[in-house]
């Protein structure tokens, strides 16, 4: 079980690294007016999204493996239910990043760099909350 848990954590770090950096690229892309630079951002965003997909998918795979194999009884605890809800929201955030990447790729971006700066802070709140829930396991 410790191997599975370790890989779950490793890929969670990979996933969140992508979710932290991709919106930062969107900030720079939204500020850019140079055509060649915008094309470079499109390539960087696409490649980072691939790694973010891998990190997210493997995080979920190892997380489900943990739940099915060993931690299923924890699903009845409130902290785990809240954690799972937060993971679902992070998955929706990931999907939103994908849509934004596609908008940039098709030159359809309508948002400014300030919006992306705020959007970039969202996954921090969820990472902190999820880690605190898992470590502290409050008994509500």
Tell me the per-residue pLDDT of 6-61, one tens digit each, with 9 for 90 and over.
Answer: 999 999 999 999 999 999 999 999 999 999 999 999 999 999 999 999 999 999 99
The parent domain of residue 63 ranges over 2-136
Cβ atoms 97, 19 nearer than 8 A: yes
Looking at residue 52, its pLDDT comes to: 98
Question: Do 48 and 18 contact (CB within 8 A), yes or no?
Answer: yes
Is-above-0.85 flag for pTM?
Answer: yes
* Tally of domains within the chain: 1
CB 103 within 8 A of CB 21: no
N-terminal to C-terminal alpha carbon distance within the chain: 26
Identify the pLDDT of residue 71: 77
**pLDDT level of residue 113 (50, 70, 90 thresholds):** very high
Give the number of other Cβ atoms within 10 Å of residue 101's Cβ.
23
Q: Where are the alpha helices (DSSP H) in 32-75?
A: 35-66
pLDDT of residue 55: 98
Rounded-to-integer distance, Cα 137 and Cα 130, Å = 10
Q: What is the pLDDT of residue 140?
A: 80
């Amino acid at each position: 079980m410790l191997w599975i848990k370790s890989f779950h954590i490793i890929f969670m770090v990979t996933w969140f690294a992508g979710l932290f950096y991709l919106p930062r690229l969107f900030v720079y892309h939204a500020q850019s007016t140079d055509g060649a630079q915008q094309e470079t951002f499109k390539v960087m965003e696409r490649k980072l999204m691939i790694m973010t997909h891998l990190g997210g998918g493997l995080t979920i795979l190892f997380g489900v493996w943990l739940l099915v194999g060993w931690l299923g009884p924890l699903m009845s605890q409130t902290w785990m239910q809240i954690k799972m809800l937060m993971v679902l929201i992070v998955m929706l955030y990931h999907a939103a990043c994908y849509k934004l990447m596609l908008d940039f790729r098709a030159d359809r971006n309508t948002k400014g760099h300030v919006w992306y700066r705020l959007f970039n802070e969202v996954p921090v709140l969820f990472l902190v909350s999820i880690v605190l829930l898992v470590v502290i396991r409050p008994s509500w």
